[in-house]
Structure formats: C-alpha cells, structure tokens
Structure 1
C-alpha cells in the first residue's frame, strides 16, 4: 500500500503548477501592455530617456498646427512632424532617406499604438487588471 501513488496529490500538484503558470501569463500580459507606454520620461517610439527639461522646451520648428499626441524625444518629435507634413504634401524633401518605407513604419507604429489603446480598454483586459489588483491586494 505504501507504494500506491496518491492521485489526489498528483492532481493537486498539477493544478498548483497550472495556477502558477496562469498567474505568470497574466503578469506578463500586463507587463507587455504597459511596458513603459505611460512612463513620463521615456520616448514612446524609441524608448530613449527624455530629460525633463526637454519636455518643457518649445520647438521653434513646430507650427502648433500639428498636435503631438505622443511623448517623444527630440529626434522622434522632429520625425513625427515631418511624417505629418509629408502626409499633407509638405515635408523636408532634403531628407531623402525618409522614403515610402519610412512613412509606412510610422503609419504602422501609429496603428499599433491605436490598437494597443483599444486592447487595454477591452472588457477582457479590464477584467485581467481587476483580477491582478485583487490578487495583489489580498497578498
């Protein structure tokens, strides 16, 4: 009888492993969704750290007709403005490397940001955040 393996013990052990894996997956999903997207000192496009003074300074080349809905470093701000101006038929033509593929990368990056914004507002994602907050508060 001592050699008989307890099925209940195995089932409980397997469930504990599955629960641990599920908790890890949930935490990773949250981390990926919020991966410094809302950090106030990080460029949302390239991830470069932004000096607080840089955020406050005004840009002489920004005509203020173009809203900048993202937090960018100086380089990405300049690229974003050029991207918007090119869509309007303007832009800096001397920057020959900013070609159709460059425009496409910006379009796709902006589409990705919009998609992530929609995703974090979904019922399922909000439920995940609530579950993780409840789990963290009960620990």
Structure 2
C-alpha cells in the first residue's frame, strides 16, 4: 500500500523554507546597501582611512585622500574645465565616477525610504 503524504506538513515546510529564504534575501539587501558606509573605510576604494580629510558638504560618505583627489578632478571636468589631469582621466573614467555617484545617491535615498526601514525593522537587522 502506498504511503500517506502529509500535505499539511509539506505546506508548513514549504512556508518555513520560503520565510528563511526571504530573511536571507533581506539580510543580503540590507548588507549591500549599508556596506561602504563605515567611517573608517573609503566608500570608493574600500581601503582604511588613516587620516581624516575634509570632505565637501555634498558628500555623505567617507573618501580617502586619493579618492577625494579623483573626485575633485571629476568635479572639475563636470564643471567644464578643459584638459586631462592624468592620462587615465578618459570619458570612461568620467562615466565611472558619474554612475558610481548616482549609485551612492540612489542607495542613500533607498536607505531612507519606508520600505528599507520596514525591511530592517521586520528582519531585526
């Protein structure tokens, strides 16, 4: 005779697995959006910041001295100053900085959103 399949048990296990997977996803999302905000590490390159640098008011994340110099070069180019300061200051370099800054801005907006705050609260992250 065939075994009786416990459908309620299978359903409970499926729900438990689904909740555990959702929790792991929530932790991953929260981690990805909070990583890089440590005040002792550069948000751009990830290296430890040994000496504090004075950051422009528009930046709400830490940069090391070298990345700050690159950011300032990016801003000069963005403001229309001609000429490259370094051979690697190409259009691709400029686009990399532009898209990274946009990513940082939109990540900050999401971190302040009700949805993200609910994610953190509901998952006790």
Q: Return the TM-score normalized by structure 1.
A: 0.77
Aligned position for 1:79: 70
Deviation of 1:44 after TM superposition, in Å, equals: 0.6
Cα distance in 1 between the residues matched to 2:69 and 2:98: 15
Aligned position for 1:11: 11
Question: Could you list the per-position Cα deviations for residues 72-116 of structure 1 after superposition, in whole angstroms to 9, with x for gaps in the alignment?
Answer: 112101101111122223377341320221111111111111110
Deviation of 1:43 after TM superposition, in Å, equals: 0.4
Aligned position for 2:98: 107
Kept in 1, the 8 Å contact 2:73–2:85? The answer is no
Cα distance in 2 between the residues matched to 1:92 and 1:74: 22
Aligned position for 2:41: 42
Cα distance in 1 between the residues matched to 2:108 and 2:92: 24
Aligned position for 1:61: none
**Matched length:** 124
The CA RMSD measured in Å over matched residues stands at: 2.4
Deviation of 1:67 after TM superposition, in Å, equals: 4.3
Kept in 2, the 8 Å contact 1:83–1:91? The answer is no
Larger Rg: 1
SS at match of 2:52: helix
Cα distance in 1 between the residues matched to 2:15 and 2:80: 59
SS at match of 1:10: helix
Q: Return the TM-score normalized by structure 2.
A: 0.84
Kept in 2, the 8 Å contact 1:45–1:72? The answer is yes
